[in-house]
């Protein structure tokens, strides 16, 4: 793992984003195929090196020099939004030990207070013992404190009716829906086109992304309600990326492509050569080394 040089790290602590320092995707030097360097997103935080979707993972992303972090939002039995990827707690917490009779340990079957008791770090490494599943509000406050930016995924919205409106409510309460956040620091994405459409309808100013790889012929339908199409890297080609770029998205700008999950240098260079705008990765330091983005 490469930790950022002291001067750049200091800049991050001071809240000077690298875009201010002239290293944003739009101002970076052209990459190997003439494209600008893609933005690098720390997927579930720097999740190759710290337990995913915890505050430790976003703190580590910050220390590595990355201001964009990705997360996953779901809802508890008593209506709290929490940051977890799977729809059960089994893989990333000690829920099986704490609540052995509650199989299959679905998030939606546990209260926020119960989830707050769980250890979300020991499964990854003993040095992270005691890490907690953050509520969305706790997570937003930490991202804010770290001067980071957020690619927020609404996960499995079909399980949580109304989660789009609730997510926006929490974002608003945390101060994340003012002009500064909406214009520069927030993207909302989902694998559900309906979810993305709902978010766009409720807050048309928010930048949104659809997770998937629609056929080129279908792209104009997506352009009506979203700004980005974010595909799995194995599903794309340079022609497909160019087709997305050829359309104007919901905000009247060329649509963008942020691809996932790219954790090795060769693949990072390959998708950079396809012209992607962003790379979502568990190993942001590795991708930065390959493509030069932040």
Cα–Cα distance measured from residue 205 to residue 179, given in angstroms and rounded to the nearest whole number: 9
Name every residue whose Cβ is closer than 8 Å to that of residue 75 and which is 6 or more positions away in sequence.
Answer: 81, 82, 107, 108, 159, 160, 163, 166
- Could you tell me if 159 and 192 are in contact, meaning their C-beta atoms sit under 8 angstroms apart? no
Which residue has the closest beta carbon to ligand G3P?
260
Min separation Cβ 70 and ligand G3P, Å: 5
Is 43 catalytic? The answer is yes
Note whether 263 binds ligand G3P by CB under 6 A. Answer: no
Contact partners, residue 42, CB within 8 Å, separation at least 6: 57, 58, 61, 64, 66, 68, 69, 70, 281, 282, 284
**Binding residues for Ca ion restricted to 102-161, rule: CB under 5 A:** 153
* Residue 256 interacting partner from Ca ion, ligand G3P, none (CB closer than 5 to 8 Å by kind): none
Residue 214: exposed, middle, or buried by beta-carbon count in 10 A (0-12, 13-18, 19+)?
middle
Binding pattern for the stretch 139-158 against ligand G3P, x by CB under 6 A and - elsewhere:
--------------x-----
Task: List the catalytic residue out of 85, 181, 200, 233.
Answer: 85
Which residue from 211, 223, 241, 276 is in contact with ligand G3P, where contact means CB under 6 A?
211
Q: Which is nearer to Ca ion, 72 or 86 (CB)?
A: 72
Choosing from 213, 260, 275, 276, the residue that interacts with ligand G3P (CB under 6 A) is: 260
Residue 200 annotated in active site = no
From 52, 67, 72, 86, residue interacting with Ca ion (rule: CB under 5 A)? 72
Tell me if 280 contacts ligand G3P by CB under 6 A: yes
- Which parts of 24-53 interact with ligand G3P (CB under 6 A)? 43
Structure tokens at 26: 């739009």
Element (H, E) at 239: helix 238-245
N- to C-terminal Cα separation, the chain: 15
Interface characters, 67-106, with ligand G3P (x: CB under 6 A) = ---x-x------------x---------------------
Answer yes or no: are the C-beta atoms of 261 and 14 closer than 8 Å: no
Q: How far, in Å, are 69, 155, 248, 251, 277 from residue 139 at the CA level?
A: 11, 16, 32, 27, 25
| Closer by beta carbon to Ca ion, 59 or else 153 | 153
Beta carbons of 200 and 221 less than 8 angstroms apart: no
Q: Does 227 bind ligand G3P (CB under 6 A)?
A: no
Binding partner of residue 211 among Ca ion, ligand G3P, none, CB cut-off 5 to 8 Å per kind: ligand G3P
Binding site for ligand G3P (CB under 6 A): 43, 70, 72, 85, 153, 211, 260, 280
Binding site for Ca ion (CB under 5 A): 72, 153
């Amino acid at each position: 793992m490469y930790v950022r040089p002291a001067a750049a790290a200091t800049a991050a602590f001071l809240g000077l984003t690298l875009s201010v320092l002239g290293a944003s995707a739009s101002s970076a030097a052209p990459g190997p195929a003439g494209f600008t360097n893609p933005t690098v997103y720390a997927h579930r935080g720097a999740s190759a090196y710290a337990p995913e979707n915890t505050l430790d993972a976003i703190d580590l992303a910050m220390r590595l020099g990355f201001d964009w972090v990705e997360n996953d939002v779901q809802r508890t039995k008593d209506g709290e939004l929490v940051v977890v990827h799977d729809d059960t707690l089994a893989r990333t917490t000690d829920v099986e030990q704490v609540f052995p009779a509650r199989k299959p340990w679905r998030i939606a079957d546990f209260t926020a207070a119960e989830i707050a008791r769980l250890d979300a770090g020991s499964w990854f490494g003993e040095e992270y013992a005691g890490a907690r599943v953050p509520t969305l509000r706790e997570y937003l406050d930490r991202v804010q404190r770290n001067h980071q930016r957020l690619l927020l995924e609404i996960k499995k919205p079909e399980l949580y009716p109304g989660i789009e409106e609730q997510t926006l409510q929490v974002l608003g309460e945390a101060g994340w829906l003012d002009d500064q956040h909406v214009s520069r620091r927030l993207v909302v994405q989902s694998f559900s086109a309906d979810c993305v459409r709902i978010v766009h309808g409720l807050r048309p100013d928010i930048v949104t992304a659809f997770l998937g790889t629609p056929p080129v012929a279908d792209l104009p339908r997506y352009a009506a309600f979203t700004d980005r199409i974010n595909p799995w890297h194995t599903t794309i080609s340079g022609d497909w990326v160019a087709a997305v770029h050829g359309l104007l998205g919901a905000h009247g700008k060329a649509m963008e492509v942020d691809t996932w999950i790219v954790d090795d240098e060769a693949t990072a260079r390959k998708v950079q050569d396809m012209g992607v705008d962003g790379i979502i990765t568990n190993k942001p330091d590795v991708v930065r080394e390959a493509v030069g983005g932040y």
